[in-house]
Structure 1
Amino acid sequence: MSQEMKVLGVYSQNIKTRIGAGTTSQKSDHKTYHYVIRVGYSKYHVQPLNEQDIPSGMITVISEKDFIAQFSPELYYYQRKTLPALKTLQAKISKGEEAFEKGKLDDAEHAFAGALLLDPDNPKANLGMGTVQCTKENFDKLTEIIQVLLNLDAVFLEEQRQEFNLFAIVLRKSKRYNEALTFYKKALEIYPNDENLHFNIARAYFDTDNSEEALSHINKALDINPELESATLFQKYLLKKKKKKPATAVKNKKQSIQTPQKRK
């Protein structure tokens, strides 16, 4: 794979449909899962997962704007489902390689077929390799792809955290605060002790008029890094705002009591 390609893992998409017609129609939500690779800086290759939770079938290329709007990260889905499935696939590849080296071509072809045909009910479904042929060339290509798909090390997780954070910033600037919080929280699942993430989450909560949650995350940011000046200033502002609220409420209450009721 090109060095310009970056594995982002598994993302989900909610598809809303309407069943029936007229007053009896009902809305239905269906979640689908996809394996995602970013190509360059603005194109995303999205490939559905099959029943075995392995990337299979047609790859769709979409823009960054559409990708952020339509897809949500599924970090643990990749770890708990896709990764084990890929390891099983890798075992099939190793079996085929072993048979090939021993000159057992029939056994090798059988093993390669089991690895390449990821969906027995759909022979054309594959890892985006075009028409499937059980050849050593395709086997080598599949081996290379699997090595990328199995990439779940510290570097991969850090790249995911950065992607989630960048997506969240774009969404927050677009005033889509709830979606931004979704991405921020996914990034926080990877690195819960990132003071900058807590700071960004605090800003998003503040934008939704949730000062309590904003203050909570600012406090966490300062617990991690007491020297974070921007967080200190934000904390002071939030505390000052919090003190003003009760005083204003009491003042309004007094005015309400003192205002004489008009006689009917």
Structure 2
Amino acid sequence: MSEGTAPKEHFAGVFSLQKTIKIGAGATSRRVAQSSFFFVSENEEGQLIMQALGPLGLPVGTKTPITREDLLKSYLPEPGMYQQTVLPKMREVQVSVARGEKFRKRGETFTAEFEFNKALALDEENVRANFGIGLCYLSRGEKQKADEVFRRVVSIEAAYEPEHKHLFNEFGINLRKSGMHEQALEYYQKGLNISPNDEHLRYNAARAAFEKGDHETAAAHLGKALEINPGFDEARTFLEHLKKKGLA
């Protein structure tokens, strides 16, 4: 980027879809207008992504690509709703998550948990807040609570998007370090189902399998990691160690 060039601002807004539905039957039937609201944002590739707005006015559920042509043809812009309702709530969630992450990195896990819960009260599927509160539980050794968060996280589709990769890895590593090897393996496998050629996920899965005592699975993940990246020295050293010990 040349000096003085401002970063590109990605499009975001709220749109509605108007439908007419029939209520009742016979002479008492009538038609009423029904509106559904959607949050539409532009990703890094310039693609428009649509999500339904939940009852609290925040995006929820599956993200669906939509073309600009279809958006303008079938949906109506709702700039007032975006500016007055959706954007302020999204910012409120972002502020709580940022505060939670700041306190967690300081080791103030109970204050961090409070901030993450404020975010989750508005957006229960917020990926960063779920990861953050799970890391708080793991750092305090509260494995049952961490497992509950783990079960919630693995069901959130957005958790496996590239932008959350560092959080994904940090959570998986902390699951392993906390002795929750089964959960860590399940977690990494979920990621590998989406990104099977990620050698670092393979390596992390190998470490979790090794510490669980499943040397065969560990060796298989390391072998695959080296197929993907023959120059992955850590994976090669790990695999050679297993072979030297007669474990692979």
What's the TM-score bracket when you normalise by the shorter of the two chains?
A: 0.3 to 0.5
Q: TM-score, normalised by structure 2?
A: 0.43
Which entry has the higher C-alpha Rg, 1 or 2? 1
- Bigger RCO of structures 1 and 2 (CA < 8 A, at least 6 apart): 1
